[in-house]
Amino acid sequence: MPWGTIIAFLLPALTFYVALTAYPAFRTLWNSFHKVLPRRTEFVGLLNYEQLVRDEIFWRAVRNTITWACASPLIEVSIALLLAVALYARVPGARFFRIAWFTPVLMSYVVVGILWMWIYNYDWGPVNVALRAIGLGFLAKPWLGDPATALPSLIFVTSWMWVGFNMVVLLAALHSLPRDVIEAAELDNCGWGAKLVFIILPLIRATILNLIVLSFIGKMKIFDLVWITTKGNPLWATETVSTYVYKRAFEWTTFDLGYPSTIAAVWFVIVLTTVLLLTWAFRQRDRLEY
């Protein structure tokens, strides 16, 4: 093996990886056992972890984030599937639709967040304007200001953003299916619903499961959208783990980087375990079916 060449090719990438990913990750773990003040660091053992267990805001943030991460994949993938199947039936203008639907996902959460703050605006946002116009004015409310509707409203925004992406991926999967299988089903006088459930779904299962995992991971990390729109308000109704870590590290005047590092470390383990469990569970079921 030409070790010199291999090292030369890999060294730049590994340097970036070690210096700006691996080392910071370990340093965060180290931080989590310390009190890290601007001028002094002090070993505190498991104190941060004990505090974390009793931190109600943290658990609230965990609940919110997990709700988000579980609801989003289901909403996004199911709507996307319906749209993709509709498009698959050779509708005119498919290319145009494809490009148009993909657009929201290309915009930054900052742009999307501001845009939807306006859409949800109490006085002149299109949602309330439309409700009042059709005589349902009593339903109009400050969508992001009400603790009961704030989180669902934000989940709706991410769905708006990501359905198009999921749809395009599913469409690609549908187009790569062997046509004769589907044609055979048509010959057997199989209706659309039956064709979807018994033929198409099993064939593109792998893609669907991948999309679910992908969407799940994305929502476990969510920060930008919340930070721009609600900053976790009202009453922690939209607090996510990411926003809480940011607040504890850079907004609260505790100046301690140790405690937020503990949150980050615990969350890291939770995300990693759930993602591994998900992939493992999906694999298992695959094996059983064959």
By CB under 8 A, the residues from 257 to 286 that bind another protein are 257, 260-261, 263-265, 267-268, 271-272, 275
Task: Output the smallest distance, CB 152 to another protein, in A.
Answer: 17
Q: Whose Cβ is closer to another protein: residue 150's or residue 173's?
A: 173
Contact 64, 238 (CB under 8 A): yes
Shortest distance in whole angstroms from residue 129 CB to another protein:
8
Figure out which of the listed residues 75, 129, 177, 185 binds another protein, where binding follows CB under 8 A: 129
- 255 binding another protein? (CB under 8 A): no
**Interaction with another protein in 31-50: which residues (CB under 8 A)?**
31, 36
Footprint on residues 59-118 left by another protein (CB under 8 A): 83, 86-87, 89, 91-92, 97-111, 114-116, 118
Position 201 contacts another protein (CB under 8 A):
no
Report d(CA 281, CA 266) in Å as an integer. Answer: 22
Tokens 């996307």 locate to 80
127-161: buried (b, 16+ CB within 10 Å) or exposed (e) per residue? bbeebeeeeeeeebbbbbeeeebbbebbbbbbbbb
CB atoms within 10 A of CB 103: 10
What is the Cα–Cα distance from 235 to 56, expressed in whole angstroms? 12
Q: Which stretch binds another protein (CB under 8 A): 51-59, 132-140, 141-149, 216-224?
A: 216-224
Of 245, 260, 222, the C-alpha closest to 29 is 260
